[in-house]
Amino acid sequence: MSPYLLVEENVCLEMYYQVTGGHLGVSRAYPGEDRHRIWSVGKVGERNGSWEKAVIPLNEGYYRLYIEAYSAFYADTINIAIDDVLINKCRTRMYLHQHTSDT
């Protein structure tokens, strides 16, 4: 659980994660309100151990963030890891494609 954050426009939560046999989610809660899930991923049965990156756009406002791990009821083994959690301005990437012509 984070402290209350004042989130401005164009802000993202970034993190790396590994999930096997369970689910990972991010929720937010405004003061006096219940949590509301804004992102989740589940990996049941996959065991490749690769790290993946999540970039989650955040709405403007004043709220807490929760990063939550929870099990799939039918999973035998659960492994969840997170690393390098950052809240930053969202980065936009532009990919320029060079067009070549045979004529």
- On whether the CB atoms of residues 80 and 67 are closer than 8 A, the answer is no
**What are the domain boundaries of the chain?**
5-89
**Residue whose structure tokens are 């993202």:** 12
98 residue type, one letter: Q
**Residue whose structure tokens are 């003061």:** 31
pLDDT at 100 over 50: no
Of the candidates 72, 79, 83, 82, the one whose C-alpha atom is nearest the C-alpha of residue 20 is 79
- On whether the CB atoms of residues 25 and 40 are closer than 8 A, the answer is yes
pLDDT at 72 over 70: no
Provide the CATH topology of domain 5-89.
Jelly Rolls (2.60.120)
pLDDT average, residue stretch 19-35: 88
Higher pLDDT, 92 or 97: 92
Position 44 confidence tier, pLDDT thresholds 50, 70, 90:
low
The reported pTM is 0.75
Strand partners, 18: 81
Predicted pLDDT of residue 91 = 81
Predicted pLDDT of residue 61 = 94
Specify the range with the lowest mean pLDDT, choosing from 6-10, 27-31, 75-79.
75-79
CA distances from 50 to 1, 19, 21, 65, 69 (A): 25, 9, 14, 25, 17
